[in-house]
């Protein structure tokens, strides 16, 4: 492997180590209380050497947001077993996404406490997504693509795939917020996958009917 390529990989690994350390430091002290020195100590570096890889605490936080977003997006590219129905495909996708959240619970809790201006992220060139929450727009865009690839018009009840994607992303974020703040000692959020799926595909009353075997109360 050429020296330049090895160096790039070494830098990428070091940056990832620092991000993991920052997530632990932020989890213990909170984003606004944690310092670059705290992060450096957690990562096993000096504060001065940390600036070689990140210019500021805000840039580190941006790296964490980008990491979580990338982990979310990559799940859409994972292979699905052949012969699955749309409900089965969607169920597996939801399970995979929620497993990420379970694994990163402390980081998700941190990201949900951020204030506008806390995160320093490179903005996409597409002006339509020039929003403080453009990373959520990326989730909508990728989920829309996934629905167009895996769902029929009937599967979505005739709704536009983008509308369906926005609905699902909103349901997911709502559950994550409740899971992180209202139920700090709750069971893994993956246990809620079937309920999220029912709400998305069947709605409030439809989900109830499905659970009661087709009999509405």
Rounded average pLDDT over 96-105: 89
- Say yes or no: 97 and 186 in one domain: yes
- Say yes or no: 119 and 71 in one domain: yes
Asked whether 138 and 73 are in contact (CB, 8 A), the reply is yes
The pLDDT, as a whole number, for residue 143 is 95
- Say yes or no: 16 and 60 in one domain: no
Rounded average pLDDT over 191-199: 90
Instruction: Kindly state whether residue 200 falls inside one of the protein's structural domains.
Output: yes
Asked if pLDDT for residue 81 goes beyond 90, the answer is yes
Exposure letters 15-33 (e unless 16+ CB within 10 A, then b): beebbebbbbbbeeeebee
Selection from 131, 34, 7, 112 nearest residue 68 by Cα? 112
- Please report, for the domain that includes residue 123, its CATH number: 1.10.357.10
User: Structure pTM?
Assistant: 0.78
Q: Which residue has the higher pLDDT, 3 or 127?
A: 3
CA gap 114, 109 in Å, rounded? 9
Domain stops at, among 54, 76, 97 = 54
Q: Quick one: which H or E segment has residue 20? A: helix 3-29
The pLDDT, as a whole number, for residue 96 is 94
- Say yes or no: 44 and 85 in one domain: no
The pLDDT, as a whole number, for residue 184 is 57
Rounded average pLDDT over 6-26: 89
Helix (H, G, I), strand (E, B) or coil at 84: coil
Asked if pLDDT for residue 18 goes beyond 60, the answer is yes
Residues near 181 by beta carbon (within 8 Å), at least 6 away in sequence: 109, 112
Q: Where in the sequence is the domain holding 126, given as residue range(s)?
A: 56-211
Mean confidence (pLDDT) of the chain:
83
Instruction: Kindly state whether residue 216 falls inside one of the protein's structural domains.
Output: no
pLDDT digits (tens, 9 = 90+) for 165-174: 999 999 988 8
- Say yes or no: 99 and 42 in one domain: no
Q: Total domain count for the chain?
A: 2
Instruction: Kindly state whether residue 178 falls inside one of the protein's structural domains.
Output: yes
The pLDDT, as a whole number, for residue 103 is 86
- Say yes or no: 186 and 166 in one domain: yes
CA gap 186, 66 in Å, rounded? 26
Residues near 68 by beta carbon (within 8 Å), at least 6 away in sequence: 100, 104, 107, 108, 111
pLDDT digits (tens, 9 = 90+) for 20-70: 899 889 888 888 899 999 999 999 988 888 999 999 988 998 888 888 888
Count other Cβ atoms within 10 Å, centred on residue 186: 13
- For residue 19, how far is the Cα from the chain centroid? 16
- Say yes or no: 60 and 44 in one domain: no
Mean pLDDT is highest, among 2-16, 103-117, 148-162, for: 148-162
- Say yes or no: 64 and 17 in one domain: no
- Say yes or no: 114 and 14 in one domain: no
pLDDT digits (tens, 9 = 90+) for 111-156: 777 765 565 554 544 444 444 456 678 889 999 999 999 999 999 9
- Please report, for the domain that includes residue 7, its CATH number: 1.10.10.60
- Say yes or no: 69 and 5 in one domain: no
Asked if pLDDT for residue 160 goes beyond 60, the answer is yes
What is the Cα gyration radius of the chain?
A: 20
Structure tokens, 181? 């703040």
- Say yes or no: 49 and 68 in one domain: no
Structure tokens, 78? 């994972």
CA atoms within 13 A on the CB side of 176: 24
The pLDDT, as a whole number, for residue 53 is 92
Q: Which residue has the higher pLDDT, 207 or 43?
A: 43
The pLDDT, as a whole number, for residue 127 is 44
Q: Which residue has the higher pLDDT, 206 or 216?
A: 206
- Say yes or no: 80 and 1 in one domain: no
């Amino acid at each position: 492997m050429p020296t330049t390529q090895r160096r790039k990989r070494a830098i990428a690994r070091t940056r990832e180590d620092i991000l993991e350390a920052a997530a632990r430091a932020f989890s213990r002290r909170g984003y606004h209380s944690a310092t670059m020195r705290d992060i450096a100590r957690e990562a096993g570096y000096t504060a001065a050497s940390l600036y070689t890889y990140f210019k500021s605490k805000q840039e580190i936080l941006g790296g964490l947001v980008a990491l979580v977003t990338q982990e979310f997006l990559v799940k859409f590219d994972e292979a699905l077993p052949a012969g699955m129905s749309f409900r089965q495909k969607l169920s597996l996708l939801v399970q995979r996404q929620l497993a990420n959240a379970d694994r990163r619970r402390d980081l998700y809790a941190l990201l949900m406490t951020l204030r506008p201006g806390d995160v320093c992220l490179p903005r996409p060139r597409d002006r339509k997504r020039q929003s403080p929450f453009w990373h959520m727009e990326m989730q909508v865009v990728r989920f829309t693509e996934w629905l167009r690839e895996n769902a029929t018009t009937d599967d979505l009840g005739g709704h536009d795939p983008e509308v369906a994607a926005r609905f699902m992303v909103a349901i997911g974020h709502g559950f994550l917020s409740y899971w992180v703040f209202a139920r700090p000692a709750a069971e893994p959020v993956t246990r809620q996958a079937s309920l999220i799926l029912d709400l998305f595909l069947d709605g409030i009353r439809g989900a109830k009917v499905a659970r009661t075997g087709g009999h509405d109360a």
